[in-house]
Amino acid sequence: NAGVMQNPRHLVRRRGQEARLRCSPMKGHSHVYWYRQLPEEGLKFMVYLQKENIIDESGMPKERFSAEFPKEGPSILRIQQVVRGDSAAYFCASSPGGQSYNSPLHFGNGTRLTVT
């Protein structure tokens, strides 16, 4: 049973470019969460999505960041016009959802974004 798959593992972008990070949840999981981890800092919640719905985006910066989880295909975290401060590891996690809210989140191995 494949775990949470994230790609790419490493992404280098120049300032002003766009970054697209992809996440395929575990089989049978319908809820996806995105977290950001800055060097020497903890995991910070960004956004929580179900298929075709954003449930909680309270951790998302108001500008340049967006996320989607379409009916078909992976979840996408999109960062427009990247700046050096966006350099971080971005982790995706998934859970079954529904009545299983207290199920643990299962994490992928992250995408490490470097903005030059």
Partner 1 sequence: EDQVTQSPEALRLQEGESSSLNCSYTVSGLRGLFWYRQDPGKGPEFLFTLYSAGEEKEKERLKATLTKKESFLHITAPKPEDSATYLCAVQAYNQGGKLIFGQGTELSVKP
Q: Which residues bind partner 1 (CB under 8 A)?
A: 4, 31, 33, 35, 41-45, 48, 55-56, 91, 93, 95, 97, 101-110
Contacts of 83 (CB under 8 A, 6+ apart): 15, 115
Residue placing its CB nearer to partner 1 in the complex, 47 or 115: 47
Given a contact cutoff of 8 angstroms between Cβ atoms, the answer to whether 4 and 105 are in contact is no
Q: How far is the CB of 81 from partner 1 (least distance, A)?
A: 27
Nearest to partner 1 of 14, 99 (CB atom): 99
Residues in the chain: 116
Q: How far is the CB of 88 from partner 1 (least distance, A)?
A: 14
Query: Angle at CA 74, nearest 5°, toward 72 and 40?
Result: 160
Please report, as a single letter, which amino acid is at residue 66.
S
Least distance from partner 1 to the Cβ atom of residue 48, Å: 5
